[in-house]
Amino acid sequence: MAQAWQSYDSGAQSHDRLAVPSLFAQPAKDLVEALDLGAASAVLDVGSGSGIAALTASQSSGPATVVVGIDPSFEMLRVARGNGLRCVVSGALPHLPFCANSFDRVLASFVLSHLTSYEAALVEMVRVLRPGGKLGVTAWGGVRNEFRERWQSIADSFAGREALGAAVDEALPWEPWFEEPGHLESALQAAGLNRVALHHKQYTVRMSIADFLAIRDGSIQARFMRQTLDPERWKQFNATLAAEFYTSFSDPIEHERDVHIAIGTKP
Ligand SMILES: C[S@@+](CC[C@H](N)C(=O)[O-])C[C@H]1O[C@@H](n2cnc3c(N)ncnc32)[C@H](O)[C@@H]1O
C-alpha cells in the first residue's frame, strides 16, 4: 500500500507554481506536438498532475475536443481545475475508469516510472485508446547536474543513503530504467503499439537557488524525510542545504535536464 509521503497532495501547489514552468511545461509542449492531435475528439492525460499536458493539448486542439485529466492526487486535480482543466477524474493506473477504445490520444508525462508494473499500466492505457490512436509518454533522461547531486549527498547524510534509496525505489521503481531510451521503445512495443518513435530533448533550466530548493522540497525524497526525520533534524537539514548552496553556487543557477519522448500507434 502507498505511504502518505508518496502522495503528491502536499506538493501540488509548489509543483504547479515552480516545477511546472521551469521543468514540466516544455516537455509537455513537445509531447503534445509529437502526438500530433490532428482531429482528435477525445484526449486523456494520465497522471495529469496540475494539468500542464492536458491544458497544452486543449490549447492545441479545437473547441469540440474533450480533454480529460486523471490523477490519484485530489490536490493536483484541485489545482488543475483552478488552471482551467474542466474534465478531471480521480483515479490511478493500473485501472482506468473508461471503456475500451474511448480516446484518440492518451498521454502520460513523467508518470510511468511511478508504477509497480509499468507493463500493466501501458496495457491499460492502450485498452482505452482507439485503434489508429496514438499514445505518448515522457521520462527523464540520465543527464546529471551538480545541483541535484549536491542536494542528494546532503539528504543522504541526514536520512541515510540506504533508507533514502529504498524510499525512492518504492515510489519510483522504474525511474533509472527509463533513463535508457531503448527501454521506453521496447516497453511501448511490448504493449502492442506500432510505429514507435523516440525523441530526445535537452533543456537548459535557469532558476534561483530558492526556487531550486523549493522544488526539491516537493520531491519524493524530501516528502519521505519530512515524514520520517525528527522535526529538529529536518530543520537542520534545510539550514544545511541553504548554507551549502548559497556558499557554493552563484545565484541564479543553470543546469541541463534531458527527456525522452516516445510515441506509438495502436494497430
Ligand atoms: C511527476 S508528476 C507529473 C505530473 C504531470 N504529468 C506533469 O507533467 O506536470 C507525476 C504524477 O503522476 C501521478 N501518479 C502517481 N501514481 C499514479 C498512478 N498509479 N496512476 C496515475 N497517476 C499517478 C501523481 O499523482 C503525479 O500527479
Pocket test for ligand 1, best of 114, 137, 138, 260 (most atoms within 8 A of CB): 114
Q: How far is the CA of 53 from the centre of ligand 1 (A)?
A: 11
Written as one letter, the residue type at 176 is P
Ligand 1 is surrounded, with C-beta below 6 A, by 8, 20, 24, 28, 46-49, 52-53, 71-73, 76, 92-93, 109-111, 114-115
Cross-strand pairs, 129: 103
Supply φ then ψ for residue 133, to 5 degrees. Answer: -80, 165
Name the closest-CA residue to atom 16, ligand 1: 114
Q: What is Dmax (Cα atoms) for the chain?
A: 56
| Pairwise CA distance, residues 75 & 140, whole Å | 23
Q: How far is the CA of 5 from the centre of ligand 1 (A)?
A: 14
Q: How far is the CA of 250 from the centre of ligand 1 (A)?
A: 32
Return the half-sphere exposure (C-beta side, CA atoms, 13 A cut-off) of residue 13.
Answer: 1
| Pairwise CA distance, residues 205 & 93, whole Å | 30
Pocket test for ligand 1, best of 1, 7, 8 (most atoms within 8 A of CB): 8
Q: Which long-range contacts (CB under 8 A, 24 or more apart) does 144-153 make?
A: 145/255, 145/256, 145/257, 146/255, 147/212, 147/245, 147/249, 147/253, 147/255, 148/216, 148/255, 150/244, 150/245, 150/248, 151/212, 151/213, 151/216, 151/241, 152/221
* pLDDT tens sequence for the chain (267 residues): 567 888 899 889 999 999 999 999 999 999 999 999 988 999 999 999 999 999 999 999 988 999 999 999 999 999 999 999 999 999 999 999 999 999 999 999 999 999 999 999 999 999 999 999 999 999 999 999 999 999 999 999 999 999 999 999 999 999 999 999 899 999 999 999 999 999 999 999 999 999 999 999 999 999 999 999 999 999 999 999 999 999 999 999 999 999 999 999 999
- Contact yes or no for 235/156 (Cβ under 8 A): no
Name the closest-CA residue to atom 22, ligand 1: 47
| Pairwise CA distance, residues 74 & 9, whole Å | 7
Name the closest-CA residue to atom 1, ligand 1: 110
Instruction: Give the pTM.
Output: 0.96
pLDDT one-digit tens code per residue, 19-45? 999 999 999 999 999 999 988 999 999
User: Any idea how long the chain is?
Assistant: 267
Q: How far is the CA of 72 from the centre of ligand 1 (A)?
A: 8
Atom of ligand 1 nearest to the CA of 73: 25
